[in-house]
Amino acid sequence: MDKRRVVVTGLGIITPLGVGVTPSWENLVQGKSGIGKITLFDASHFQTQIAGEVEGFNPEEYIEIKEIKKMDRFIHFAIAATKMALDDSSLKITGSNAEKVGVIIGSGIGGLYAIEHYHSVLLEKGPRKISPFFIPMLIINLASGQVSIKFGAKGPNSALTTACATGSHSIGDAFKIIQRGDADAMIAGGTEAVITPLGVAGFNAMKALSTRNNEPEKASRPFDVDRDGFVMGEGAGIVILESLESAMERGSKIYAEIVGYGMSADAYHITTPSPGGEGAARCMAIALRDGGVNPAEVDYINAHGTSTKHGDELESSAIKMVFGAHAYKIAISSTKSMIGHLLGAAGGVEATLTILSVYNDIVLPTINLDNPDPECDINLDYVPRKARKMTVSYALSNSFGFGGTNACLLFKKFT
């Protein structure tokens, strides 16, 4: 059976630079930073006191008041971003199509807010004071579950947890479900909300976070020699994928076509990428092969680019391994420089931004790239500081997670 073509018809994002696609995109194009002092809890005694918090988000605009308390913040984000994406696509889920519309929304960690809160309740007030909604608040598949319940999607329903690759794996798996004919449309992406005392303390214990507390907006600096770790962010990124037939039948706007999906494992270390970035390189190569695309056709890569020493160096090596001389002609940028690392939501948000780059022919910048690190190859084009207008026909979005799990998505300008 011929593989069905799959297109993107709706987008919804919540980031530290805006609630919604328009404010987030406009601020990113302007090269603004969404990183600031942590306000969600008192971080004054923590090594890291900065993060990319979502501001101005009101769950009451998307969820019934009585339901809000039954859900963790990461689920609030997922529902809100899904509503945005469905509204954007004008996809109506009805009795006639519900069984052919599915949901895959993942999270790297899940309901850490709920876990911390109810652990305190247990210690202070005893087991009888634990909410009956505690478990449904925290388990990761309840983002997909609550979305399917609220919007009536009865098709394939799943949830992935692959650390920082979660959002990309979710979109990739949804792509394959439509491609083989098991659904006509999928709601897919990632969501995360773990800027909590335990979350920050845990990453601090790993020495993974930036401690540039006096200059929050300059703390996330991928590929820069002065980077000192990543900056945590929160939010969600959701896309509506549809078969081309479904989208054309509805007369829907089409942002881009998704043509390739790569997966690989480093099989090396729980946090450090494999030597030379070979696992990431295999993943990119698989995505290109899946899409039948020559490496020389790729115009842009939205890099994983976390602002960690080994991660940035090895991703740079992986790109050169896959693209050879063409690597120096590709625009490469890390949007984490502006919004931080959204962990399980990163792949969903960054896929959305990559799609918008293809649609708008604008490549977002890597801000704070003041002193490029020679170990990342200063001759690669990291689009420093300012967005760039250019034709983007093919673009890759990279996501690499703890445990050595890798995901790459390949998007094409729709014609």
- Reported as type and span, the H/E element at residue 19 is strand 18-19
Name the catalytic one among 164, 283, 376, 408: 164
User: Residue 293: which residues within 8 A CB-CB, separation 6 or more?
Assistant: 259, 260, 394, 410, 412
Q: Virtual CA dihedral for 393, 175, 80, 217, nearest 10 degrees?
A: -50
Cα(260)–Cα(246) distance, rounded to whole angstroms? 19
Cβ contact 91:252 at 8 Å: yes
Cα(398)–Cα(305) distance, rounded to whole angstroms? 9
What are 322's strand-pairing partners?
A: none
Residue 269 is a catalytic residue: no
What is the per-residue DSSP string for 27-74? HHHTT----EE--SS--TTSS--EEB---S--GGGTS-HHHHTTS-HH
Cα(278)–Cα(315) distance, rounded to whole angstroms? 9
Look-up of token digits 């005392």: 197
Cα(186)–Cα(36) distance, rounded to whole angstroms? 34
* Angle of helix 21-29 versus helix 346-360 axis, rounded to 10: 70
Distances (CA, A) of 285 to 263, 269, 316, 324: 10, 21, 14, 12
Q: Output b/e per residue, 41-70; b: 16+ Cβ within 10 A.
A: eebeebbbbbbbbbeebebeebbeeebbeb
Name the catalytic one among 76, 283, 304, 408: 304
Name the catalytic one among 76, 283, 341, 408: 341
Name the 3-class secondary structure at 9: strand
- Give the total residue count for the chain: 415
Residue 304 is a catalytic residue: yes
Name the 3-class secondary structure at 4: coil
Residues belonging to the active site? 164, 304, 341
